[in-house]
Structure formats: structure tokens, C-alpha cells
Amino acid sequence: MPIATLREAVTTMSAPPYSIVRWNCPTDSTGLIELQLPAVYHTATSYIVDPKTINTAKSYAIKLSVFAIGCDSTSFDIQVLTKNDVGAAGSIYEVMKYTDIDQSHIDQSFSEFVIKNCDTPVMRNKLYIIFTNNDLSPGGDLDIQLTYMTLQDRPFTNILTG
């Protein structure tokens, strides 16, 4: 599985802090494209004064504000999954699906959209993307940007299994 390359990760100096994270990946990738979600620890002291680097913390659950994606293809489909399983497409683990995108798409219509990783038995700080190029020409690099608030920066404990 290809891992999207993290290009930029910053955190706003606001309360609460939002992460603005950008990745890219070649569109000739097959299978799931893995996005590792960095975070800022909410317990960091005085994040309003100092911008905090977010490359060491992890996001296991996020409140998504903006999803932006683009490439050179004039017709492509994107599916976003919370589970590392291409068979999860079309199930409850598919949290977003956009079809017939012409080069780029920005969705900022979320009011309350909470996403958590659903990998088992070990939860990871990841989302997964299925890219389908419907165009005959190469798509170039796929650029992905998310703006989100970290809701959980530690793995969850399942109350049913301890």
C-alpha cells in the first residue's frame, strides 16, 4: 500500500487548535493510499503563544472541517475509508465518496463530521483513500489537504473488551 507523503502540517494558534495537513501521492498508485494523521497534543501548554510542531503526536479521531483534493485528471473518483481494507468500500467504513471530479474538489460543508480510525485489533492514526482515474491521460500527483480538529490523540479503550 502506498503511503502518501506528508508535505506540510501546521496547527492554528486558536482555541481549539485546528491542524492543516497536506500530502501528495502519485496517481498511478494502486490499492489503498494511506494518510497518517498527525496531531497537536491538547495538553501542550500555551499553544496560543508558541506554534507547536505536530509531527510526534497522532490523531485517532478528528472533527473534519475541510477536505480538498486535486490532480491533473479531468475525471476521477475518490473514496475515503476508516479501515485498512479495500473491501470496506461501500460499507459503513466508507465515510466520503466523490465521483467524476474534474481536476480538483474542495468540500467545506461539514458542520459536525467526526471520523475515527476503525482498524482492528490495533487502532492507527490513519485514513485510507481509493483513487480511480476515469480519464485516459495520466493523473500526475494527487494532492490532498485536510483541515481538522484532533478529538482523540491516544488510542481508544473499547468498553466491551477492556
User: Structural domain boundaries of the chain?
Assistant: 5-152
Measuring CA to CA, which residue among 69, 61, 67, 1 is closest to residue 37?
A: 61
Res 55: pLDDT: 54
Most trustworthy range by pLDDT among 5-19, 37-51, 61-75? 61-75
Res 159: pLDDT: 66
- Residue-averaged pLDDT of the chain: 85
Measuring CA to CA, which residue among 140, 151, 110, 146 is closest to residue 36?
A: 146
Is residue 147 a contact partner of residue 66, using CB atoms and an 8 Å limit? yes
In Å, what is the CA distance from 84 to each residue of 31, 34, 37, 123, 134? 10, 8, 14, 10, 23
Write the DSSP string, 77-133.
EEEEESSS-GGGTTSTTEEEEEEEE-SEEEE---SS-EEE---SSS--SEEEEEEEE
Q: Could you count the other beta carbons within 10 Å of the beta carbon of residue 21?
A: 24
pTM: 0.85
Is residue 145 a contact partner of residue 138, using CB atoms and an 8 Å limit? no
CATH number of 5-152: 2.60.120
Most trustworthy range by pLDDT among 25-34, 71-80, 109-118? 71-80
101 pLDDT exceeds 60?
yes
- At residue 70 the predicted structure's pLDDT band, cuts being 50, 70 and 90, is very high
Q: Which amino acid, 65?
A: S
27 pLDDT exceeds 60?
yes
Burial of 15 (0-12, 13-18, 19+ CB in 10 A): exposed
